[in-house]
Amino acid sequence: LSLIALTIKNRRLQKKLREEKQNSSALKRITKWTNLISNNPASRLVKVLQDVQSGKKVDMEVIAELLSRIKSHKGGDFYKPELNADEFAKVSEDNKAFADYLKYNLMNNFFDTSAGSSSGSMNLNRSNRSGSLASDKAASDKAICDILRTVSDKSAVGSPMQNFRPDSPFSKSLNNVDELLARDDLWIPNDAIKRLENIGCWNIDPFHVSSISNGHPILTIMYNIFTTDLDLGTHQSGGMLKRLKINERKFWKYVQVIESQMRPENVYHNATHVADVVHNMLWLLRDGELAGRLGLCEWEVFASLFACMIHDFDHPGVSNDFLVRTSHKRAILYNNQSVNENWHVAQAFGLLNREDGDLAWDEEWTEDQIFKFRKLCISMVLATDMARHFELLGKFKARVAECDDACTDAYDPAESKDRESVLVMAIKACDIGTQGKKWKLARKWATIVQVSACITHPRLLPTPPFLSLIRLMKRRRRIQKSWKLTFHFLQEEFFSQGDKEKMLGMLPSPLCDREAVDIVKSQIGFIDAVLFPLYEPLSKVLPELKSVLAQLEHSKSMYEQELATRRQNSREKSKTR
C-alpha cells in the first residue's frame, strides 16, 4: 500500500512539474509586447533610482528627460508607452486597424483631443453639421436619437428574433423599471433558478448558462454563488448576504432589475458578458486565491462581485468616444470623462435610492458602510474604461517590477488602498479575459463579431464549386436566411457603431470599420498588446493566473494557425487563376 501511495504521489508531482514548466515557457514568450508596454517614463525613473541605490553610473540624458516631464506637470504622461518603438511600427504596418485602436482608444487620455483619428472624425462631423446635416436640423436630431437612446428614452427594445424564436434567451428583458416593479408575474422565484454543478470553474460556458436559464445568466450566476458554500479566503459565499445584513428579498429583486436593463441587441455588452465577468471574479477570489492573499474582509468580497455585476449596467452598445463626438447627453453629463462607466455605476446605485425603497437591499447598513462600499465599487467600475488602461497598468507594473513570483512584498494586505489597487486590476482582467478560456470558448466569443460580418456580406458565405449556378444561388440564399435566423439578434455591436459613424459623416472608430478590420489579426494584436502585459504582472501577485497565461498563448497560436491557413489558401487560389 505504501508503494502504491508513493507511486501516486510521484505521478502528481511529475504532473505539477510539467504544468509549471509549461507555464514558465509561456511566460518567456510574452516578453516582446510586455517590454514595449513597459517602456514609459515611470519605468525608467524606477530604473534610475535603482541604479543610484546600487551605485551604478546613471545616464544624464535620461535624467534630463525625466526632469522635463516632471516640470511639465503632465503626471499621466509618466505611464504613456513610447509608441515610436520599432516594434510598434511593425505592428502598425501589419495591422493598422489594431494599431489605431491601441493608440487612440486605449491611450486617448495621453493625447491632445486636437490630434489623432478622433479629432479627424470630430472635425468631419462638425463640417457636416455646417453643411448637409445643418440644412435639416430636425432630420439630424432624429437620426441621432434613432442611433442612441438617450437618458430619458426607456422604450422597450424589440428583438428581431422574437418572430422566429419566442423563447429566445435575449427576448425576455424589459427596459422600464417601473413596469417591472409593478408586475408581480415578471419576477422569477428563487426556487425556479437553475442550479449549476460547475459554479466556480474557469471555463464555465456563459452562453449555455444563458440558454438553460431562459436568458437570465446574471441572476443564475449570482444566485448560485450566494447559495453555495464556496470558500473565498476565510469566508464562505453561502450565507454571506445574511451575515452582511442584506435584505435578500430586495437584493434578488435588484439583481433582476439590473439584468432587465442589459440591452439584448448588444452583441458583446449584454447580460451574458456581465455574467461571465462576475464568474471570472468568483474564480479569481477562490481558485486564484485573491480573497485569501489580500485578506479581503467579507464586504470587500461582496463588493468585488457586485462591481462586476453593475460594471456595464444599461450599456448603450457604443463607445465613450462615440458618445463624446455626437455630444450625447451622457457625455455632457459626465464632461466627456469615462462616460459609460460613470453612467453604469451612478445608475446602478441610483436604484437603491428610489423613493419607493423596493430595491433598497442596503437599508440596514450604516452611512460609513455604504460610503466605503460605494467608494470601492466606483473605483473598480471606472477602471474598466480602456482609455485608462495603460495608466493603471503602468502604475501597477511599477509596484511589482522587482518582485519574484511570490511577490509578497509589493502590496500590504493590511492597507485598504493596496487591496483596492489589486482589485482594480482584477476587474480589468475579468472584463477582457475571454481569450484566456479554453479554445472552443475563446473562439466562440470572437466568432460573435466575425459571424455578423458574414451575415452582412453574403459574398463571404462558402460557395460549393460542384453546384450549378441555379443550385448555387438557391443554396446561398438558404444559408444566408438560416444564418440570419440564428445570428440576427447579435446586431454587430462594433461594426454597427462604425456604420452609425459613417451615416453621420464621421470617420469610423478603430476596429469599427467592417471594410477594414481583420478579426483574426485583431485578436492576435489584442492578446499581445493588452492581455499579456496585463496578466503577466498580475500573475506575480496571483500565481494561479499563470494557467490563464498559458491558455492565452494557446489561443494566440490557434489564431496564428488560422491566419497561416488563410494565407496559404489565398496563395493557392491566386496560382489557379
* Binding site members for AMP: 269-273, 312, 431, 523
CA angle 210, 422, 229 (to 5 degrees): 50
Binding site residue list: 269-273, 311-312, 431, 523
| Distance in angstroms (rounded) separating the CA atoms of residues 129 and 114 | 18
| Distance in angstroms (rounded) separating the CA atoms of residues 165 and 162 | 5
| Distance in angstroms (rounded) separating the CA atoms of residues 391 and 526 | 17
| Distance in angstroms (rounded) separating the CA atoms of residues 417 and 422 | 9
| Distance in angstroms (rounded) separating the CA atoms of residues 279 and 426 | 12
Give the torsion sign (CA, 395, 273, 462, 514). negative
Binding site residue list for Zn(2+): 273, 311-312, 431
Q: Which of 472, 497, 529 is nearest to 268 (CA)?
A: 497
CA 563 from centre of chain: 24
554 noted as active-site residue: no
Q: Which of 196, 236, 234, 232 is nearest to 213 (CA)?
A: 196
End-to-end CA distance of the chain: 70
Q: Where are the beta strands (DSSP E) in 141-227?
A: none
Look up cell 517614463; give the residue: 41
Helix or strand (DSSP H, E) at 7: helix 2-28
| Distance in angstroms (rounded) separating the CA atoms of residues 352 and 144 | 31
Do the beta carbons of residue 295 and residue 413 sit within 8 Å? yes
Task: Name the residue type at position 257.
Answer: V
Choosing from 235, 269, 279, 344, the catalytic residue is 269
Structure-block grid coordinates of residue 571? 496563395
Q: Which residues are catalytic?
A: 269
